[in-house]
Structure 1
Amino acid sequence: MRLPLLAAALVAVPALSACTQNASSGEAGEDDRTITVSSTDDACELSGTEAPSGKLTFDVTNDGSKVTEFYLYTENAERVLGEVENIGPGLTRQLVVSAPAGTYLTACKPGMKGDGIRADFTVTDSGAKVAASADEAELVEHAEEEYGEFVQEQSDQLLTGTAAFVKAYKAGDDRAAKALYPEVRTHWERIETVAESFGDLDPKMDAREADLEPGQKWTGWHRMEKDLWPARAEKYESLTMKQRAVYADDLLANTKVLDHRIGELEFTVDQIANGSRGLMEEVATGKVTGEEEYWSRTDLWDFQANVDGAKKAFEVVEPILEQNDPELEETLDERFDALQEQLDAHREGDGFRTYDYLSAEEVKQLADAVNALSEPLSHLTAAVIS
């Protein structure tokens, strides 16, 4: 049953996106914080390479033939500050960020692979505040603190769970490792956009076999997933106990690094709101399509965790949204509930049915609920930092 291909045809989530490199030489004016981006298969043209600090909007149009993404990185691409994914040909999406003065890097990724087409981007000091207005200061502070605590809690649980998974996997206790696999990954998926923001760690920890670049060594969760559930593989040769130990120890070491880095992070309301939208894009591009957990078919555990993380991010900024756009707040509440109702229909015991048991109609219902939520969610960031 070719569910991944079927689901991919059903899903058309309106994802936000942007692009970069081969940028035009023009610069955004002092009062112009909107940058247009044209992404093609081999270029990324920005209307400006400089903008004043404050609320910036990147209007990204895919003028090429491949699905693309747009990223805004810190200098040297050490961390992702904002991203929009899954921009189909002919579509225009927005990335809204609140950017302080500094040097940044933009990147378009035609085909959604590789380092992308990159260019420098400068934000000058305009003297404008890069947070919410003064009367919202208390709400903003509470949102940022609460979300930081949530991310740290999930990271700590991920580290504890990974240690237990690694122990079982190295000991050859496949039954225990299989039981732990989807449960532990829940903590990764709830904060996936934060974890992915560390570009050096994510490929080592969460790369899927189908997405590997030429010459890239495959490590991390999905390498061990295939070893535990090899039924769909042709002529698969199981890893030796020594090989298992190498992969498992590497995953645990990288998880410790991730946990340490997360402990040093501080979040802003635009990052939180963009994270909510980004997690739903993860659902659209990997979970509804059934591509994320190709071997184990535990996609619905990941699906639920992404929704958990997206809803938590929405909830911490919800008091700000209630003041700025109560109609949007009500719509998002209703559509999160509707999506959760669809997910609950597939529960089985303490978890979910495996994805291969879903019918075409059930996949379509999930896709429709994701689409219905994703469109209004794309307006969240602009609303909370307006």
Structure 2
Amino acid sequence: MLSRRSALSLLAGGTAVLTLGAPAAHAHPSRPRPFGRYGSPARRLDPLTLYVDPHGRGDHPDVQSAVDAATGTGHTLVLAPGTYRGAVTVAAARTGLTLIGASGDPRDTVIVHNRAAGTPRPDGSGTYGTSGSASVTVQAAGFTAHDLTFANDWLRSDNPEYTGTQAVAIKVQGDRSAFYGCRFLGHQDTLYADSPALTVFARQYYRDCYVEGDVDFVFGRATAVYDRCHFRALTRSGPVSAPYGFVFAPSTAGANPHGYLVLRSRVTSTAPDGYYKLARPWVPSSDLTARPMLTVRDSRLGAGIDAVTPYATMSSGFPWQEQRFAEYRNTGPGARVTVPAERPQLSASEARSHTPGAYLGDWRPYA
């Protein structure tokens, strides 16, 4: 099986061979219908649809130029299979933007960049920082993505001198952001589900998505629902003992009644049994009043999760026991309750307030 770096290094040639040993289809320049059932520049579905293709058969050869051209609201970008390398920012003015991978297989269409928090900026003004490391940054409200891969292929092993090893695949800040059938690939801080400000409770929905990483690879202060998703904790070459890392690191604002909700999902791992914690709370220095919130319910937790002590404290003074962590009706070896005090459980009546409807309110992306 290819290593993750070997697999992602093939992306530059237009082939998306990613993790789990599953090769994706090649992007063939001669393919007569690169945009599948979504039309073409010659047979445009509507004036607000733009076509993106690295081989020149669309309106734009790269994602950022297409985003820049999609002025106003309600545009759709259809991406032909291929690899789109380079950072992408969806500014706040691009409301209601939809990105679609034309093939329907997220492994075929990859948006990827390669930089970490500790990567020096070219102008010498310092390093990028965690937010600046993101391959894709979504600031706009009403963003939707279908059947795409968002990746950051920066690796610690290639840069052992770095201390800032966070490398974000996507940072999502906009309210009403939804992802269907997407993949998020990275190591530390892969999926940054956040909001534009401490007082803004941005809502996000992820369905049938795949997320992989090692340290805090799903993190941030958004109100986010992860429905029927697969979280994959990776083996790390550096640590010689547990824990290798943490799946979730929410930083929910104390005033926000809803943080992360994980339901009908699964957590697997390539690491030894018990080498991962399910979560730890992130109380950032910018918001010491945060009360991180995570509910995992009706999900399967694999043997990679430490069943005895699945939670850990990130910062002294903010123990996980004082945050809002809970579980309900989970299964699998990583969900076994051996020390009840280490695994807070919701009652049936409490669980009724931990649903997509309760978290997302009048927005119903799951309907």
**If each structure's strand is expressed as a fraction of its own residues, which one has the higher value?**
2
What's the TM-score once normalised by structure 1's chain length? 0.27
Per chain length, whose mean CA-contact separation is higher, i.e. which structure has more relative contact order (CA < 8 Å, sep 6+)?
1
Task: State the TM-score, normalizing by the size of structure 2.
Answer: 0.28
